Amino acid sequence: MNISFEGKRVLVTGAGQGIGRDLALRLAKYGATVIALSRTKKHLDTLTQEDPRILSVVADLRDWDASRKAIENVLPVDLLVNNAAIASLSPFLDVKPEDVDLLMDVNVKGIVNASQVVAKNIIERKCGGSIVNVSSQASQAALKDHAIYCASKGAVDALTKVMALELGPRNIRVNTVNPTVVLTEMGRLGWSDPNKAQSMISKIPLGRFAEVDEVVDAIVYLLSDKSSMVNGVALPVDGGFLAT
């Protein structure tokens, strides 16, 4: 598949590490002007050293006003990937109110904020665009000790459908990718224990976790014109986990 993002400005949140970082590098290779937003400056510094074409923005998505301003400062933006998220593990009965606030602030409210700024800009410029929200298999399946993470990703799927409904008429498509475990920093948090990992792998028909590149491929597809009639979908990248 021949994909080019020449002339496009793409904002990727959570681009300091993991999936977001590899996505930023890939999109830059495809000719996009990539704006990498993330929380930790030193991670972004190593990213821009690796590809000096990438622009970086240090912002904490927990801070609505500061991150909104940071995104407004890098407009115009044609394409947006809401990838930043955090996970915290706890049995449901031990969940603290601050855990709920933290995960909802970053994983859900962060998407609302960034998407409002970018969508308004695309609408003003009448250029059309695409937004990809990085959700998870956890949006649709119960994962032990992941109550609030699952709830936050369920919210991402629901939010995406409404965004697709309301922004579609303005020529902005909105979709999610829903990966299974990927052994990034976040993936290792939940799945480093070999027994836990094996029990998850045994439920994945392809018998393995996903690679970062496999998630990047799906995001690139949904972001590109190759998916020009795809709007409001949740695309599992899970080796069949959600199908069983």
Instruction: State the residues that interact with ligand NDP by CB under 6 A.
Output: 14, 16-20, 38-40, 43, 60-62, 83-86, 106, 134, 136, 179, 181-182, 184-187
Question: Judged by CB, which is closer to ligand NDP: 170, or 208?
Answer: 208
Kindly name the residue from 153, 161, 221, 226 that is annotated as catalytic.
153
Residue 30 appears among annotated catalytic residues: no
Give min distance, CB of 126 to ligand NDP, in A: 30
Give min distance, CB of 127 to ligand NDP, in A: 26
Edge-first strand order for the sheet with 129-134 is 55-58, 33-38, 9-13, 79-82, 129-134, 172-179, 234-237
3-state secondary structure of 1: coil
Q: Is the dihedral of CA 1, 81, 36, 49 positive or negative?
A: negative
Tokens of 83: 């990838």
Question: What's the distance, CA 103 to chain centroid?
Answer: 14
Kindly name the residue from 149, 161, 203, 226 that is annotated as catalytic.
149
Question: Judged by CB, which is closer to ligand NDP: 72, or 124?
Answer: 72
Query: Which one, of 152, 63, 166, lies nearest residue 113 by Cα?
Result: 63
Q: By the 8 A CB rule, do 147 and 204 touch?
A: no
Question: Judged by CB, which is closer to ligand NDP: 16, or 129?
Answer: 16
The single-letter code of the amino acid at 56 is S
Give min distance, CB of 142 to ligand NDP, in A: 15
Residue 144 appears among annotated catalytic residues: no
Q: Which residues are catalytic?
A: 149, 153
